[in-house]
């Protein structure tokens, strides 16, 4: 089972301006082969399909716990996408009076790289990559063979790191860069964790291959605050009570990777503190949340009061 908390893993800075192509670039980290839907999908189904769970508890718990974090990564990238696609919130924009739609108010959208992002989703995120292609089951490897699945996951996290770096290099807006800066740190934790798991079973010190690509996180300004608070040394259980056995793999005296700020690896029960979710103020002329939403707001207010 899963519980949901109405927060993002970090609070994202507001976008400097609307940039739908930047939003489309960020989609690579959502629905691409090496995006967050893929890390989520792999670990989700691997954890469902895990064999001999009780005998292999620490390995099962590792995959299961990271799955829950990946859900939040999907959420984080999705929020980044819709924030970039819609631009900075303009308070009150969703309560304008009669809206004129006759002057082709969204003409620029016909030249947007992925026009369906507006036409179909009103600027929202969907599980597609930066070329508009759907995430799909070909991105999921779940064989039931523990060593192979872990090796796959290690490769997946390295690929995800490369893609985050490249997306980062295309973005000048603070929103998207923050998404990348944070996920680079957390992705490194996952790559490191799968490496340690593989080392436990096979004896191969595969964590020495990290970081791949070989650029230290110290080079990414947006990653610094997360490194400083030690995020790269923490594995969260993302559970009220379960998955503590990950400490058999992440811990045990293992230390941070040489390129990163030093210190011992630690398991944190539960989740990070998190940050506020963007409001995403509606745009009546785009029919979000509606063309003439006032009455809807009134009803919602009444229901809200009734719920307390």
Among 14, 109, 224, 230, binds a second copy (CB under 8 A): 109
Among 94, 178, 184, 186, binds a second copy (CB under 8 A): 94
For residues 3-62, which are near a second copy according to CB under 8 A?
A: 3-9, 19, 21-22, 24-25, 28, 31-34, 41, 44-46, 48-59
d(CA 21, CA 84): 9
CA angle 65–40–76, rounded 5-degree value: 95
Both ends of the chain: CA-CA distance in Å? 26
Residues 6+ apart with CB under 8 A from 244: 61, 237, 267, 269
246 sits near a second copy (criterion: CB under 8 A): yes
225 sits near a second copy (criterion: CB under 8 A): no
CB of 256 to a second copy, least distance (A): 18
Among 101, 218, 228, 258, binds a second copy (CB under 8 A): 101
Task: Supply the Cα-derived Rg of the chain in whole angstroms.
Answer: 21
Among 12, 36, 39, 128, binds a second copy (CB under 8 A): 128
For residues 175-194, which are near a second copy according to CB under 8 A?
A: none
255 sits near a second copy (criterion: CB under 8 A): no
217 sits near a second copy (criterion: CB under 8 A): no
Longest dimension (CA), the chain: 68
252 sits near a second copy (criterion: CB under 8 A): yes
Three-state secondary-structure class, residue 128: strand
Among 11, 242, 254, 259, binds a second copy (CB under 8 A): 242
274 sits near a second copy (criterion: CB under 8 A): yes
The helix (H) or strand (E) run that includes residue 190 is: helix 174-202
Reading phi first (left if > 0) and then psi (alpha if -120 to 50, else beta), residue 122 is in left
């Amino acid at each position: 089972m899963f519980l949901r908390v109405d927060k993002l893993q970090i609070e994202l800075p507001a976008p400097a301006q609307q940039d739908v192509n930047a939003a489309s670039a960020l989609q690579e980290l959502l629905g691409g082969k090496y995006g967050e839907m893929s890390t989520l999908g792999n670990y989700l189904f691997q954890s469902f399909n895990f064999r001999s769970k009780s005998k292999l508890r620490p390995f099962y718990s590792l995959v299961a716990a990271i799955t829950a974090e990946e859900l939040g990564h999907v959420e984080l990238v999705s929020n980044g996408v819709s924030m970039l696609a819609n631009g900075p919130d303009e308070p009150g924009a969703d309560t304008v009076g009669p809206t004129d739609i006759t002057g082709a108010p969204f003409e620029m959208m016909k030249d947007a790289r992925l026009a369906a992002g507006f036409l179909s989703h009103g600027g929202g995120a969907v599980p597609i990559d930066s070329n508009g292609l759907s995430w799909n089951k070909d991105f999921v490897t779940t064989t039931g063979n523990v060593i192979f699945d872990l090796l796959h996951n290690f490769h997946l996290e390295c690929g995800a790191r490369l893609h985050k770096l490249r997306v980062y290099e295309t973005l000048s807006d603070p929103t998207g860069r923050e998404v990348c800066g944070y996920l680079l740190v957390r992705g490194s934790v996952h790559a490191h964790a799968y490496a340690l798991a593989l080392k436990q079973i096979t004896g191969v010190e595969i964590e020495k291959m990290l970081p791949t690509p070989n650029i230290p996180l110290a080079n990414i300004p947006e990653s610094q605050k997360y490194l400083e608070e030690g995020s790269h040394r923490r594995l969260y259980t993302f559970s009220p009570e379960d998955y503590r056995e990950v400490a058999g793999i992440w811990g045990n005296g293992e230390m941070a990777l040489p390129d990163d700020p030093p210190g011992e690896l630690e398991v944190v029960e539960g989740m990070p503190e998190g940050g506020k979710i963007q409001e995403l103020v509606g745009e009546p002329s785009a029919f979000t949340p509606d063309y003439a939403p006032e009455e809807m707001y009134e009803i919602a207010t009444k229901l809200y009061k009734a719920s307390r």
